[in-house]
């Protein structure tokens, strides 16, 4: 089973205050030009996207220069609904594994169409949880919020500085079934930039009675 965790990218996509608005326009039409074509103008942080270390560290490595394996793998969803700051919980420990992906469900994607609230009062993660994720050597952290922290983005810098990619503006984490083995795929464009829009999806891995995986 494939579960789409991505917001639509349209001309109405809300963007972080100060970022350029998304422009998605028809540049050629079938009747006038013999073919249809659209033009997209957007910052790299519009909609569901991945940040590379270059975004807030002195790394010179663009997101397109990382191997595709950096953006997929086994993942676990941590439930942090109803919390202003997601701190470490003992039940999280088993889910935090080296070279895997952690997704944090806050439910705040419900306010995506209210930019003032979504960008201004979103939940964050605690410094303690950030340290545990770093110690656990995860490779990517995803959230259904615009950021794991707020200005001056100390945790952003710390996580990115420790090689953890940040997958932001997820949605639909509530559709991911609990207690299942999961994989996450969130491939960026092969682009020379600090971040990239992605189509993030989760895949549920089923195992039959013979122990054979069926995806």
Read off the pLDDT of residues 70-119 as tens digits, 9 standing for 90 and up.
Answer: 999 999 999 999 999 999 999 999 999 999 999 999 999 999 999 999 99
SS3 194: coil
The confidence score (pLDDT) of residue 39 equals 98
The confidence score (pLDDT) of residue 154 equals 98
By C-alpha distance, which of 132, 131, 119, 124 is closest to 106? 124
The confidence score (pLDDT) of residue 210 equals 44
By C-alpha distance, which of 76, 101, 78, 98 is closest to 88? 78
Report d(CA 23, CA 18) in Å as an integer.
15
DSSP-derived secondary structure letter, 206? E
**One pLDDT digit (tens) per residue for the chain, 215 residues:** 999 999 999 999 999 999 999 999 999 999 999 999 999 999 999 999 999 999 999 999 999 999 999 999 999 999 999 999 999 999 999 999 999 999 999 999 999 999 999 999 999 999 999 999 999 999 999 999 999 999 999 999 999 999 999 999 999 999 999 888 999 999 999 999 999 999 999 999 875 444 445 55
């Amino acid at each position: 089973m494939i579960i789409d965790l991505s917001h639509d990218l349209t001309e109405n996509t809300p963007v972080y205050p100060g970022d350029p608005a998304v422009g998605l326009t028809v540049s050629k039409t079938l009747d006038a030009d013999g073919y249809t074509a659209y033009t997209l103008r957007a910052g790299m942080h519009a909609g569901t996207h991945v940040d590379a270390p270059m975004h807030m560290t002195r790394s010179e490595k663009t997101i397109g220069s990382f191997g595709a394996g950096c953006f997929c793998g086994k993942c676990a969803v941590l439930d942090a609904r109803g919390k202003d700051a997601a701190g470490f919980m003992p039940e999280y420990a088993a889910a935090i594994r080296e070279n895997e992906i952690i997704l944090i469900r806050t439910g705040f994607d419900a306010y995506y169409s209210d930019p003032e609230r979504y960008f201004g009062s979103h939940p964050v993660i605690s410094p303690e949880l950030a340290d545990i994720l770093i110690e656990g050597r995860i490779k990517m952290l995803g959230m259904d919020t615009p950021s794991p922290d707020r200005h001056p983005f100390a945790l952003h810098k710390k996580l990115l500085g420790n090689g953890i990619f940040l997958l932001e503006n997820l949605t639909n984490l509530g559709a991911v079934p609990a207690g299942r083995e999961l994989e996450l795929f969130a491939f960026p464009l092969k682009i020379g930039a600090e971040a990239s829009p992605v189509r993030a999806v989760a895949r549920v891995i089923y195992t039959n009675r013979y122990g054979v995986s069926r995806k």
